[in-house]
Amino acid sequence: MTDTKKSPQGEWSSHSAFIMAATGSAVGLGNIWKFPYITGENGGGAFVLVYLLCVALIGIPIMMSETLMGRRGRHNPVTTMESLTAEAKADEHWHYLGWMGIIAGILILSYYSVIAGWASAYVLKAFTGSFFDADAAAVKQLFADFIASPVQLAFWHTAFMLATMWIVKQGVNNGLEKALRWLMPSLFVLLILLVGYAMTTPSYFQGLHFLFTPDFSKLTGNSILTAMGQAFFSLGIGMGAVMVYGAYLPKKISITETVVVVSIADTVVALLSGIIIFPIVFSNGLQPDSGPGLIFETLPIAFGSMIGGWLFGILFFVMLVLAALSSSVALIEPAVAWLIETRGFNREKASLYAGSVTWLIGFASIFSFNSWSGFKIFGQTLFELLDYVTANLMLPIGGFAIAMFAGWIMVRGHSEQELDLPNPLTYQIWQLLIKYLAPAAVFLVFLDVVGVL
Ligand code: TRP
């Protein structure tokens, strides 16, 4: 098969470049910030088990589908869906899937950037020695004072959005690829070091027990939905980010292999993060369900007391910000690619427009942590609502649609050719998962939440 059709945005320079970019998109705040705090809120082990099942049985097959659809369509999600529907002679309404992805990406990035701003602020706090010898109460107070200030949150959110726009302006295969090559391995090494610290805490085994011993009485319909949403969020699937990255993927690269490697890396980072956080939580008498501030209320205790903690604290938050940056560029890329390909913008202008809109929406989340914290819709602050609607509703719906499209609408020969699996049996298994299991699972979870089951 010759590489006749290329994306107008260029291509990844090599196999490892794509693996790096896809890992960069997957690994981010979702693993290190979100996974521990929602695991804490949803009771631990059983939630983790559901999450792992969702990654393996729903996430991986959908990620394969999203990548292959992107590579076949070779454009932003809207144009890709248009060309795929034309090719399959399907209903043209499918291009709304592309639209939903672009919107979901912007909405997610609006609050993602606020949290990445917290991580950026913590680089400075680590540097100035704010955590030095701090106990749990002091660290909690430091965080409370910080998020009470809309000005500080706005400053760091702005800084992070500017950095995102600056990277996006350079295009997919400049700079980002190179930075990720050392970032991912270093992040991994640092996490292992922190696991070493967690092992020295008195409640190490209590932390592990919380994370890995399922107590199914803690599962509710909503926590199952949250676990499924987290599988989508953490892998970065269901909204077209993987579709655009797939569009930049040369034909000769194996989609299946890449997806499996990326999913494993992503899951390992999330689990490591949990293995680090929960022992610190229990060793310091903290509550696992304290919410989005969890890592900011726990890790500084470790950095404040461990040997070399000053340096490790700085390095950790720097890497967290960089990991967030490599995800934020993926979240905004569908919108940027759409502006370039259909509105004739150049990259610079596209990233300025998409970035500015995202930046503005971000203020809703900023104020929900302070001035507007009492303003609730369905009992949720604006930040919580944005997170719920995007991660728990839009991504699973997007994933469901992707599975249906790849399984039922796409011409069989096309998906077979894109996946290029070594034997017919693996293709059959993928078909089974994508046609029946993944859509049915998403559907059942939704039914459960609305109370039909
Ligand atoms: N997966 C990233 C994280 O875990 C965030 C992210 C990147 C994402 N691209 C996405 C989330 C697409 C949802 C959809 O931090």
- For ligand 1, atom 4: residue with the closest CA: 30
Which residue's structure tokens are 């499918």?
A: 94
Residue range 396-407, pLDDT digits in tens: 999 999 999 999
Question: Which phi and psi (to 5°) does residue 176 adopt?
Answer: -55, -50
Q: What share of the chain is helix, strand, coil (3-state, %, to 5)?
A: 80, 0, 20
Q: Which domains does the chain have, with CATH numbers?
A: 15-449 (1.20.1740)
Residue range 150-196, pLDDT digits in tens: 999 999 999 999 999 999 998 766 666 777 788 888 999 999 999 99
**Which pTM value belongs to this model?**
0.95
Can you say whether the dihedral through the CA atoms of 274, 275, 280, 285 is positive or negative? positive
pLDDT of the residue at 3:
43
Where helices occur in 284-411 by DSSP H, the ranges are 294-305, 309-343, 347-368, 382-387, 395-404
293 C-beta closer than 6 A to ligand 1: no
- Distance between terminal CA atoms of the chain? 47
* Cβ neighbours, 10 Å, residue 145: 10
Residue 259 scores a pLDDT above 90 = yes
Which residue's structure tokens are 């726990």?
A: 298
pLDDT range class, residue 305, cuts 50, 70, 90: very high
CB 29 within 8 A of CB 115: yes
30 C-beta closer than 6 A to ligand 1: yes
Could you tell which of 108, 336, 394 is best to mutate to test the pocket of ligand 1, judged by most ligand atoms within 8 Å of the CB? 108
- For ligand 1, atom 12: residue with the closest CA: 236
233 C-beta closer than 6 A to ligand 1: yes
Q: Which atom of ligand 1 is nearest to the CA of 239?
A: 14
Residue range 36-50, pLDDT digits in tens: 999 999 999 999 999
SS3 for 128?
A: coil
28 C-beta closer than 6 A to ligand 1: yes
Residue 158 Cα to ligand 1 middle (Å): 19
pLDDT of the residue at 179:
74
pLDDT range class, residue 14, cuts 50, 70, 90: confident
26 C-beta closer than 6 A to ligand 1: yes
pLDDT range class, residue 346, cuts 50, 70, 90: very high
- For the chain, the average pLDDT equals 93
383-393 average pLDDT score: 96
Q: Which atom of ligand 1 is nearest to the CA of 330?
A: 9
Residue 230 Cα to ligand 1 middle (Å): 9
Which residue's structure tokens are 């960089």?
A: 322
25 C-beta closer than 6 A to ligand 1: yes
Residue 196 Cα to ligand 1 middle (Å): 27
SS3 for 4?
A: coil
* HSE, side-chain direction, 13 A CA sphere, residue 374: 1
